[in-house]
């Protein structure tokens, strides 16, 4: 990996914060960003500031236990969640937390994004689970998401928002972008009459492509359930149509009695 100075990384945190705000993923002082810069040093945004207007003073350095090493302001109240991720995942060097409206809508409705819908998500993040609710700024948050972040690259946080991880901040940001984009597409397709799931055989083909991308085999894939099974949809439609016809003839018959 190319060497980047702390100054450059802070500049990137400011830029990613600005993008999250422009995209409407954070209102007021929502969200937090962190980057691991050495085995025991983390740069993180401070508490109580808009991510759209960060400056160098609003990023402090802490150790893996959360002790302040550099800077005067108080780190984000969700810092324990970020620190937990770095302790659990050695391959992760950046953590991004925002409240993107579509993805958060799923999290508030209690709907996960684990179904096999979009190839792009299956090829990159596999699927996006929904973690249980935890009171913000308490240990409940890291405890609730811990079982998920062990394997997943992004997670919806019940009644709260979303979290994405990356080998660097750019990757964590792109994952948040993909997650919110997918949530928006799925939301729109629900309005248009329903989400059509990929067939099991198509998911299997994506699994082969994932291998080419060197995505480890233990990384979760989307959830295959009975609705992905290879059923003859035309036949199913025909059966439904006939049952409806039969029911209406029966109704008509009972009216005439
Ligand atoms: Zn939050």
Whether residue 160 contacts residue 86, with contact meaning beta carbons closer than 8 Å, is answered with no
Mean pLDDT of the chain: 92
175 CA distance to ligand 1 middle (Å): 17
Whether residue 180 contacts residue 100, with contact meaning beta carbons closer than 8 Å, is answered with yes
How many H-runs (helices) and E-runs (strands) does the chain carry?
8, 8
Residue 129 region by backbone torsions, left for phi larger than 0, else alpha for psi between -120 and 50, else beta: beta
Residues 6+ apart with CB under 8 A from 154: 125, 128, 162, 163, 164, 165, 175, 176, 179
- Decide if 22 is inside a domain: yes
User: What's 118's domain CATH number?
Assistant: 3.40.225.10
pLDDT, tens digit (0-9, with 9 covering 90-100), for 22-77: 999 999 999 999 999 999 999 999 999 999 999 999 999 999 999 999 999 999 99
The pLDDT, as a whole number, for residue 248 is 85
- Decide if 204 is inside a domain: no
DSSP code of 168? S
- Does pTM surpass 0.85? yes
Residues 6+ apart with CB under 8 A from 175: 96, 124, 125, 153, 154, 164, 165, 166
Q: What's the mean pLDDT in 191-218?
A: 91
Catalytically active residues are 78
DSSP code of 39? T
CA distance 103 to 112: 9
98 CA distance to ligand 1 middle (Å): 6
Count: domains in the chain: 1
- Decide if 249 is inside a domain: no
- Decide if 90 is inside a domain: yes
DSSP code of 137? T
Q: Which helix (H) or strand (E) holds 253?
A: helix 233-256
- Decide if 69 is inside a domain: yes
Burial label for 20, CB within 10 Å (0-12, 13-18, 19+), is: buried
- Decide if 257 is inside a domain: no
Task: Say if residue 217's pLDDT is above 70.
Answer: yes
| Angle 55-61-66 from CA coordinates, rounded to 5° | 130
Q: Which domain holds residue 29?
A: 6-191
The pLDDT, as a whole number, for residue 243 is 82
The packing angle between helices 140-149 and 79-88, to 10°, is 30
- Decide if 111 is inside a domain: yes
Q: What's the mean pLDDT in 98-122?
A: 97
Which pair of tokens denotes residue 224? 């295959």
| Residue 127 banded pLDDT, cuts 50, 70, 90 | very high
12 CA distance to ligand 1 middle (Å): 20
Whether residue 16 contacts residue 173, with contact meaning beta carbons closer than 8 Å, is answered with yes
- Decide if 175 is inside a domain: yes
189 CA distance to ligand 1 middle (Å): 27
């Amino acid at each position: 990996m190319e060497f980047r100075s702390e100054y450059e990384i802070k500049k990137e945190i400011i830029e990613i914060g600005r993008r999250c705000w422009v995209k409407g993923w954070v209102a007021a002082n929502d969200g937090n960003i962190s980057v691991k810069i050495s085995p025991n040093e983390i740069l993180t945004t401070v508490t109580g500031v808009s991510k759209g207007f960060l400056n160098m003073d609003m990023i402090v350095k802490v150790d893996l236990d959360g002790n302040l090493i550099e800077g005067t302001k108080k780190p984000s109240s969700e810092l324990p969640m970020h620190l937990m991720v770095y302790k659990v995942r050695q391959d992760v060097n950046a953590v991004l937390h925002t409240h993107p409206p579509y993805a958060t809508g799923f999290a508030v409705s209690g709907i996960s994004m684990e179904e096999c819908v979009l190839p792009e998500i299956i090829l990159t993040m596999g699927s996006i689970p929904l973690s249980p609710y935890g009171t913000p700024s308490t240990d409940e948050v890291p405890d609730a998401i811990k079982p998920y972040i062990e394997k997943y690259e992004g997670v919806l946080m019940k009644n709260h928002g979303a979290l994405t991880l990356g080998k660097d901040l750019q990757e964590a940001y792109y994952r948040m972008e993909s997650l919110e984009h997918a949530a928006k597409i799925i939301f729109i397709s629900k309005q248009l009459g329903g989400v059509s799931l990929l067939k099991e055989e198509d998911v299997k083909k994506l699994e082969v492509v994932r291998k080419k991308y060197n995505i480890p085999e233990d990384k979760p894939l989307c959830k295959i359930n009975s609705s992905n099974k290879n059923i003859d949809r035309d036949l199913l439609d025909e059966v439904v149509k006939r049952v409806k016809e039969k029911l209406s003839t029966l109704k008509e018959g009972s009216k005439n009695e």
